[in-house]
Structure 1
């Protein structure tokens, strides 16, 4: 897996494919929907449960002894293979959308992940065709090969998430670096109106935003890929000020960190605030 991360030869494919994915998956609301912005959680790992569950269930039926003597078992296995194959398509679409916003090393591993799963879909499509023609022995064999392929793809996907932290909220670990209790942030009178200000809380970079009497202290590292939100630009969405990450464009409401546009699918963490004797203080929520 570490060699895959360093396999620069894969960039010839990834660098050409990335802009094509961006051009096809338009407009922004389509990308947001596929990222899972509306769900507040990456959509791809939720959708892959359907094909995986259906295919594993079909394998259980295929491997049960005496299957020829159980009425409807072949038909049930065929139905499960069909459900798994059909549901793999939306799962793949969300995965491709997420992949197009990853770092180069992650995109390399993601390409192999996608290729392995594509092989699995092809094997299951062949399995379904064979079963529908009554060639259940061939269908079972192709299905088991497909299960092996999709299991390998799942392992590679696990490497993407748990080792490379693809689509994981990159800002969340900073919350664990903030000690419990109230921390001094700044003098309230020193905070400009409507301007992003960079500060630190327990050596964790934060963004301070003042809108009249309302003050927000938000983690500065973007949830998507740790982009510096304190260097982002402020825009208005539905009358609410939002900060746009300068790296990949993830957009969050400044009042509460709610994600408005991807590629981030999760909210940006904000700290609790209070004013004591003219001093802004922040603490874990």
Structure 2
């Protein structure tokens, strides 16, 4: 089946370098304005374990679609106006979660994202104008503005879907790890080959892992995590160690996500999915790891 022309146009956004100044400016302003790390993590969706923005989007879009249905039926002017206003009010916190995620995306994703943001802002402005027109008694004009806003919101929603499902913004980069990692126990090399207190990369088959011999522990105090950051795939072994909220963490060098080296828990976003942790044991001086913990 041939693709819609809109799809080909959106594909081109990923390579549209002319969008970089606008995208870069928005990202810098957002990062500068973001509040405390705990609030920022909440905006990313760290407590939920996945981005909160897609959940928030359902409120304004749901309200506006419902208002469109009521606009097509007689005798629902007040209810439609209420739903239009609800959508406008909900658009602000929804946009806040969106730009928070946007500020930590890579360049091709931000090119699509900045157009998505512009579409969403235009849709919100049209709906705000629709509410004002209705409030002044111009319900016919209000309906026209609302249907225009719904069309623009539809384009913005398509861009958001492309950003998530085609470009992978917000997805867990380690979801396929159980299928990729070989089952059972496998040696990564001599334990003495891993320097204490220094993250190192090793390979379990085709799966890169980060190995850390922790300071102040016995020789078997080793943490092994998937080396690919769950946020956007940064190499964790190139990051640094840091105490975050009372936990020893490895910090991704790309966007600053912090993961507990003991259990892979996200201690600071923008990552929302935890980092897979491998079980470890020492046999004959060799460090062995297993994702499943299956027997020999």
Are the structure 2 counterparts of residues 240 and 126 from structure 1 closer, same or farther at C-alpha, using a change threshold of 3 Å? same
Deviation at 1:214, TM superposition (A): 4.2
> Which of residues 184, 205, 222 is equivalent to 2:229?
222
Deviation at 1:161, TM superposition (A): 0.9
Alpha-carbon separation, structure 2, partners of 1:261 and 1:283: 24
Are the structure 2 counterparts of residues 8 and 188 from structure 1 closer, same or farther at C-alpha, using a change threshold of 3 Å? closer
> Which of residues 243, 252, 256 is equivalent to 1:249?
256
Q: Is the 8 A contact 2:245 2:267 kept in 1?
A: no
* Other-structure match for 2:202: 199
Alpha-carbon separation, structure 2, partners of 1:196 and 1:209: 5
Q: Is the 8 A contact 1:178 1:284 kept in 2?
A: no
**Residue aligned with 1:170, SS:** coil
**Residue aligned with 1:263, SS:** coil
Q: Is the 8 A contact 1:35 1:44 kept in 2?
A: yes
Q: Deviations over 1:178-211 (max 9, x none)?
A: 1333333344455544332321112210012234
Determine if the alignment matches structure 1 residue 35 to structure 2 residue 44: yes
* Other-structure match for 1:159: 162
* Other-structure match for 1:101: 104
Are the structure 2 counterparts of residues 77 and 124 from structure 1 closer, same or farther at C-alpha, using a change threshold of 3 Å? same
Q: Deviations over 1:144-199 (max 9, x none)?
A: 11111111101011111111111222233344311333333344455544332321
Determine if the alignment matches structure 1 residue 271 to structure 2 residue 281: no
Size of the aligned set, in residue pairs, is: 279
Determine if the alignment matches structure 1 residue 258 to structure 2 residue 265: yes
Q: Is the 8 A contact 1:172 1:269 kept in 2?
A: no
Structure 1 gap segments, 5+ residues each: none
Are the structure 2 counterparts of residues 274 and 20 from structure 1 closer, same or farther at C-alpha, using a change threshold of 3 Å? same
- TM normalised by structure 2 equals 0.87
Q: Which moved more, 1:48-57 or 1:130-139?
A: 130-139
Deviation at 1:276, TM superposition (A): 5.1
Are the structure 2 counterparts of residues 136 and 165 from structure 1 closer, same or farther at C-alpha, using a change threshold of 3 Å? same
> Which of residues 278, 281, 284 is equivalent to 2:289?
281
